[in-house]
């Protein structure tokens, strides 16, 4: 049973517009969430994170929103750029904080 779900396998956005990537989780004990970006045949790189005590965290063009009651988080990229085209993984920290649980990823395509 998937504990972290990214229900949209893909998303296409025009350059300059907003990209919104969504993530849902089922385990209410998760208390830390991270977003990773991954290019083909490379390792994921960390983008941004949020603690469960916050509802928003911003870093440049990237903002993550957390809705604990809905067990939902989203990553906003504004403005989107062609270099943002990649697979984005949502990850949650387990109760012991020792490992990350990943979603299946969303492939973002930004066209110029």
Asked if residues 76 and 84 have their Cβ atoms less than 8 Å apart, the reply is no
Burial (CB count within 10 angstroms: exposed 0-12, middle 13-18, buried 19+), residue 83: exposed
For another protein, the closer CB: 16 or 75: 75
For another protein, the closer CB: 32 or 65: 32
Burial pattern 58-81, b for ≥16 Cβ within 10 A else e, equals: eeeebbbbbeeeebebbbbbeebe
- Measured from the CB of residue 24, what is the shortest distance to another protein in angstroms? 13
- Measured from the CB of residue 104, what is the shortest distance to another protein in angstroms? 4
Chain residues binding another protein by CB under 8 A are 4, 6, 9, 32, 34, 36, 41-46, 48-49, 51, 89, 93, 97-100, 102-105
Asked if residues 14 and 78 have their Cβ atoms less than 8 Å apart, the reply is no
- Measured from the CB of residue 81, what is the shortest distance to another protein in angstroms? 21
For another protein, the closer CB: 90 or 110: 90
- Measured from the CB of residue 48, what is the shortest distance to another protein in angstroms? 8
């Amino acid at each position: 049973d998937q504990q972290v779900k990214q229900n949209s396998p893909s998303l296409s956005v025009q350059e300059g517009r907003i990209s919104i990537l969504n993530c849902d989780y089922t385990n209410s004990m998760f208390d830390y969430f991270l977003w990773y970006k991954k290019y083909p045949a490379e390792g994921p790189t960390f983008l941004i994170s949020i603690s469960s005590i916050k509802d928003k965290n911003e870093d440049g063009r990237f903002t993550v929103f957390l809705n604990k009651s809905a067990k939902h988080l989203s990553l906003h990229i504004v403005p989107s750029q062609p270099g943002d085209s990649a697979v984005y993984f949502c990850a949650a920290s387990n109760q012991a904080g020792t490992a990350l649980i990943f979603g299946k990823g969303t492939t973002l395509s930004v066209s110029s």
